[in-house]
Structure 1
Amino acid sequence: MDWGRTRYDAAWRMQDELVTQRIENRITDTLVLTEHDPVFTIGMRGGAEGNLLWDEARLRAEGVEVIRTNRGGDITYHGPGQIVGYPVVSLAPRKDLHAYLRLLEQVLINTLGNLGLAAARRPGKTGIWLGPRKVAAIGVAVRRWVAYHGFALNVNVNLGHFGGIVPCGIAASDGTVTSMQSEFGRYVDPDEVKRVLHDEFWQLWPRWHDQAG
């Protein structure tokens, strides 16, 4: 599903309905792609609020909402030009959340590789990196072994908005945040990125799923 541009809270409600439908087997495994209006989302990790740097006046001036969410992880930014993927999938045949996170990482690594960027995991850090520069974030939640939330890939996103947070707890000495546009020095076609993300996810997911047991 491609939801286009959405407000985060509206997308969360729609996603929650998909989770219920997947638990009840009224839908099959589903991948949602969207872009959000500017928002800082605070995850379940303790102390995440401390990584919000802007006060209410600055948030209003920049047009950025703040929403607490039930996904894993710290604090992150979503906004136009960032492609967010919400796989709503059953992990019941293979109840291994860590392996599922590795799957999402591989989807992003393969996508970026196909588009000309050599991305990788970074030991001790979450997300996907280009050297010391983080280009994608990952944070998931699970209900009755149906996974939801997912990943956020910086394509043509406003990197200035990341200045309002310590993104996912990354100290300045640990690295920075980047985007595909910043790396290439040009605008990147989001439809092409979505196509490759879609193809990579649906190539890897059946193989991962079939490794149950």
Structure 2
Amino acid sequence: MSDEVRRPQSAPVAVVAARAEGAEGVDLAEEGGGAPLRAVAPLPLRVRNLGQSDYQKTWRAMIDFTAARTDETADELWCCEHPPVLTLGQAGRAEHLLADLGLPLVKTDRGGQITYHGPGQVVVYVLLDLGRRKLKVRELVTAIEQAVIDLLAAHAVRAERHAGAPGVYVGPAKVAALGLRVRRSYSYHGVSLNVDMDLSPFAAINPCGYPGLPVTQTRDLGISLTPSQAATALAEHLAVQLERRQR
């Protein structure tokens, strides 16, 4: 794609300011199997900017949103930052926590192992009807990774995938991590992109279950985007990827 980010025409993006109230193979937790693919015209993709949002409230809001979905519910991307928190995936192992940092540890229902969230890291939660979009889980993972790769490429940074280790890397260092859950063909959870944050808590864990895995962030890669700017750009790149996969 070109360096210019375009918004898809047949699935417009509506940007909504909101606050969450009560709101790796593939890092995936799946429940109930996949629903049959439905030939339904896609609804607009809405982007909600939650600002700094408590992890557990946001997680609960995703569960409630997913449980209440109907065939007419629009797909949404939720962009936010979290106060410092460690999260452990559904099949995650506690031994990947190497030191007690005095941070909350939340056992969540996404796929994957342990990771750290904190201010200056952008999280985009991907709440999609995969059946309506005729989108397989592996295709969704590819779309999310490509959105990050394209965002970095727009700033002259070459990023890549590593086989068997979902996420996005610059050289050996991980810059973005993925973890998803799918219920009845509805996805939630998503991707975290390190932008301008304190990376030191990652030293107290095996990031995503990989001992000694280095991590990096866009600021250290020479990209001057603020977290808010990075969130907007990542959501737009992801919207483009989702639109391309519907054609």
Q: Same fold (TM over 0.5)?
A: yes
Summarize the Cα distance change of 1:15–1:79 in structure 2 as closer, same or farther, 3 Å threshold. Answer: same
Q: In structure 2, give the amino acid aligned to 1:27.
A: T
Once the two structures are superposed, residues 59-86 of structure 1 have per-residue CA deviations (whole angstroms, 9 ceiling, x without a partner) of 32xxx21000000001011110000000
Contact 2:124/2:231 (8 A) holds in 1:
no
Once the two structures are superposed, residues 92-146 of structure 1 have per-residue CA deviations (whole angstroms, 9 ceiling, x without a partner) of 1425211211111111111111133211101222210001010000000011100
For structure 2, the residue ranges without an aligned partner over 5 or more in a row are: 1-47
Pairing partner for 1:65 from 85, 93, 104: 104
Matched, 1:205 2:238: no
Distance 1:95 1:159 in 2: 34
Q: Counterparts in 2 of 1:1-16, with a 5 A limit? A: 1-16=48-63
Q: SS of the residue aligned with 2:111?
A: coil
Distance 1:101 1:177 in 2: 20
Q: SS of the residue aligned with 1:92?
A: helix
Tell me what 1:195 maps to: 232
Contact 1:140/1:149 (8 A) holds in 2:
yes
Q: In structure 2, give the amino acid aligned to 1:73.
A: G
Distance 2:135 2:191 in 1: 19
Where does structure 1 differ by over 6 angstroms across 4 or more consecutive aligned residues? Answer: none
Distance 2:227 2:49 in 1: 12
Tell me what 1:132 maps to: 172
Contact 2:123/2:231 (8 A) holds in 1:
no
Once the two structures are superposed, residues 140-183 of structure 1 have per-residue CA deviations (whole angstroms, 9 ceiling, x without a partner) of 001110000000000012100111211011222xx401111122
Tell me what 2:217 maps to: 179
RMSD of equivalent CA atoms = 1.6
Distance 1:6 1:20 in 2: 21
Of structures 1 and 2, the one scoring higher in RCO (CA 8 A, sep 6+) is 2
Tell me what 2:10 maps to: none
Tell me what 1:50 maps to: 95
TM-score (norm 1): 0.87
Distance 1:204 1:126 in 2: 17
Distance 1:16 1:112 in 2: 31
Distance 2:88 2:166 in 1: 15
Distance 2:234 2:135 in 1: 24
Q: Counterparts in 2 of 1:17-166, with a 5 A limit? A: 17-21=64-68, 23-25=69-71, 27-46=73-92, 48-55=93-100, 59-60=101-102, 64-93=103-132, 94=134, 96-166=136-206
Number of equivalences: 199
Distance 2:230 2:51 in 1: 14
For structure 1, the residue ranges without an aligned partner over 5 or more in a row are: none
Higher helix proportion: 1
